[in-house]
């Protein structure tokens, strides 16, 4: 824990250098209090098949941030805003051209049941 899972449709895979984005996300997350950089796991997935709703962009970039429960809301919001800004920076062009939806979900993993 924490996990940074960057999911992007394969039509957007060449828009930015994913390993550098994962590194930038991990470094930014480690700058926040209560985050131990040694515990960060950042990885990317690219589905080969997906469907977007009618009128939606043709692809998406979604970052899931999974943290152990118990952090204050203000800290979680700050983490979400900082990491979203990184994703937006790297995928601004396809987003502005209407080719990509950019989203982030920060979720809490139950500290009492998380096993490592």
Indicate the angle between helix axes 18-30 and 73-90, nearest 10 degrees.
160
Looking at per-residue pLDDT, the higher value among 27 and 1 belongs to: 27
Residue 5 Cα distances to 10, 15, 96, 97, 101, angstroms: 15, 17, 23, 24, 16
Task: Sketch the domain layout of the chain as residue ranges.
Answer: 3-109
Q: Tens digit of pLDDT for each residue in 2-38? A: 999 999 999 998 899 999 999 999 999 999 999 999 9
Give 1's pLDDT tier (boundaries 50, 70, 90).
confident
Residue 86 Cα distances to 3, 48, 74, 82, 97, angstroms: 16, 24, 19, 7, 18
Give the pLDDT mean for 64-74.
Answer: 97
Q: Tens digit of pLDDT for each residue in 89-116? A: 999 999 999 999 999 999 999 999 988 8
Q: Are 59 and 14 in contact (CB under 8 A)?
A: no
**Which of these CATH numbers, 2.60.120.10, 3.30.429.10, 3.40.50.300, 2.40.50.140, describes 3-109?**
3.30.429.10
């Amino acid at each position: 824990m924490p996990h940074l899972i960057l999911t992007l449709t394969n039509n957007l895979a060449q828009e930015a250098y994913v390993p550098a984005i994962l590194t930038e996300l991990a470094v930014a997350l480690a700058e926040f209090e209560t985050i131990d950089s040694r515990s960060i796991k950042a990885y990317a997935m690219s589905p080969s098949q997906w469907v977007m709703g009618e009128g939606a962009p043709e692809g998406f970039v979604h970052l899931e941030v999974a943290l152990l429960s118990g952090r204050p809301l203000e800290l979680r919001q700050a983490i979400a805003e900082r990491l979203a800004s990184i994703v937006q920076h790297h995928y601004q062009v396809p987003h502005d051209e209407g080719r990509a939806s950019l989203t982030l979900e920060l979720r809490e993993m139950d500290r009492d049941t998380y096993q490592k």
